[in-house]
Structure 1
Amino acid sequence: MTKERSRSFGRAAAAYEKHRPEYPDEIVHLVREYAARPIRSALELGAGTGKPVDTSTDGMHWPATELVGDARFVDLRETVLEQRLTFARADWIGYLSTVSAYLVLSEEDRAAAFAAIGDVLPDAVDVHADVTLHLARRV
């Protein structure tokens, strides 16, 4: 099931682009401020459609804990950018259509699941969509 889920993104790329929220504009400002010089290159790591990361163990957060323990990186910073979004019911169902757990369902099961979800959702769905930004300097 995991391999099937990890390969499911291609089928949902257009819906992902349409329904997933944009990153906050503040990210660019924070990265430029952190760099304090022209940026020649940057590395972006995101969970995307990959395997979920368990952050419940001993209060650790990913990927910051790996960066803290890695001598190749210094000056690690973590910033949480709060986002509170409101989706129309149909748009929230569109968002859910990009989640790999739904993508691996048959068309029939997926349609039934979305219909059942839509039946119990309010017209407007309030979502906490916080973004955690990790910055580190490579030695």
Structure 2
Amino acid sequence: MSFGTVAQSYERFRPGYPAELFELVMTYAGRPVRTALEIGAGTGKATRLFAGRGVAVTATDPDAAMLTELRRHLPADVRTLRAAFEDLRVGKAYELVYAAASLHWTEPDGRWERIAALLEPGGVLASFGGPLRPADPAVEEAVRAVRAPFLESDDIPSPDGTPPEHTMQWPGTELQRSGWFTDVRQVTVAQRLTMSPRDCVGYLSTVSAYLTLPAPVREEVFSRIGQVLPERVEMAADVTVHLARRRSGQ
């Protein structure tokens, strides 16, 4: 619920998703996808990828400010619903349920059973996202060094404790164990962006680890990071995608 305070910055500084992601999901589905439910739509970065290609998206988010920003950038026929994932009414089933950098915010108890209940038998779950990091290891280390006195890490830890060196990462690990899904896959869509130092700091201002810092500390961290960034920053913005299919017999 902290993201609504920076909704406009979120829209401005967070990158969108590449067309390759849409094609990847559709190829995995193996059939036309007409209806989709989005969990934690935010300002609609992923909504426009799917809705702009003919999918009837119901975009949900618990934060009114985020949905207000979404509506500013998307057609009126995109349905929005202010609700946390846990409060969504189970009834209508969708061909696709997807979450863009949001699934880790949902409650773990009953998560997979609930998603399965929102999907048609054989329907597809797609979860995707990934942090932006300086592509140059020296720049990344410089940022880490000036951040360290205030914030040890700005990563989101794996919800199930899977080490980062494992081939299959969360949520794929839990999906494989859940019993509700089959054909679990993990794919990376490579993406590189070039940003100014100002835009890099703008992006960091939308990251939860910084949002929860006291304002004076946050501004000090941003000032120090801005000072060590080069004039143009090459960013690694790879998107990790997890795909799974709801078991038809359940």
TM over 0.5: yes
Question: 1:92, 1:57 → 2: CA distance?
Answer: 24
Residues of 2 paired with 1:29 and 1:87: CA distance? 26
Segment drifting more, 123-132 vs 108-117: 108-117
Which one of the candidate residues 103, 121, 126 is aligned to 2:211? 103
In the alignment, which of 12, 16, 24 is matched to residue 10 of structure 2?
A: 16
Structure 1 position 57, deviation (Å): 6.8
TM-aligned CA distance change 1:123 to 1:58, over 3 Å? closer
The structure showing larger relative contact order (alpha-carbon pairs under 8 Å, at least 6 residues apart) is 1
C-alpha separation in 1, matches of 2:190 and 2:178:
28
2-structure distance, mates of 1:12, 1:65? 32
Cα distance in 2 for partners of 1:89, 1:108 equals 20
Alpha-carbon shift at residue 28 of structure 1 (Å):
0.9
Q: Deviations over 1:83-103 (max 9, x none)?
A: 111111110010011112222
Please, what TM-score do these two structures have when normalized by structure 1?
Answer: 0.83
> Measured at CA, do residues 131 and 86 of structure 1 come closer, stay the same or move farther in structure 2, by a change above 3 Å?
same
| Residue matched to 1:56 | 163
- The structure-2 alpha-carbon separation of the partners of 1:94 and 1:65, relative to structure 1 and needing over 3 Å to count, comes to same
- CA distance in 1 between counterparts of 2:25 and 2:209 reads 32
Q: Which residue of 1 aligns with 2:223?
A: 115
- Root mean square deviation of aligned Cα: 2.1
1:125 corresponding residue in structure 2: 233
Higher strand share: 2
Count of matched residue pairs: 133
Q: Which whole-Å CA distance do the structure 2 matches of 1:116 and 1:92 have between them?
A: 12
Shift of 1:128: 1.2
Give the Cα–Cα distance (whole angstroms) in 2 for the partners of residues 45 and 16 of structure 1. 16
SS at 2:187 equivalent: strand
Q: Which runs of 5+ in 1 are unaligned?
A: 1-6
Greater helix share, structure number: 1
What is the TM-score when the length of structure 2 is the normalising length?
0.49
Percent of residue pairs bearing the same amino acid type? 47
Task: Read off the aligned partner of 1:18 and give its amino acid letter.
Answer: R
Cα separation, 2, equivalents of 1:135 and 1:77: 5
Number of the residue aligned with 1:89 = 197
Q: 1:26 aligns with which of 20, 31, 34?
A: 20
1:104 to 1:123, Cα distance in 2 relative to 1, 3 A: same
The AA in structure 2 aligned to 1:9 is F
Residue among 75, 92, 99 paired with 1:45: 99
* 1:78 aligned residue (186, 189, 194): 186
Question: Take 1:58 and 1:87, find their aligned partners in 2: how far apart are those partners?
Answer: 28
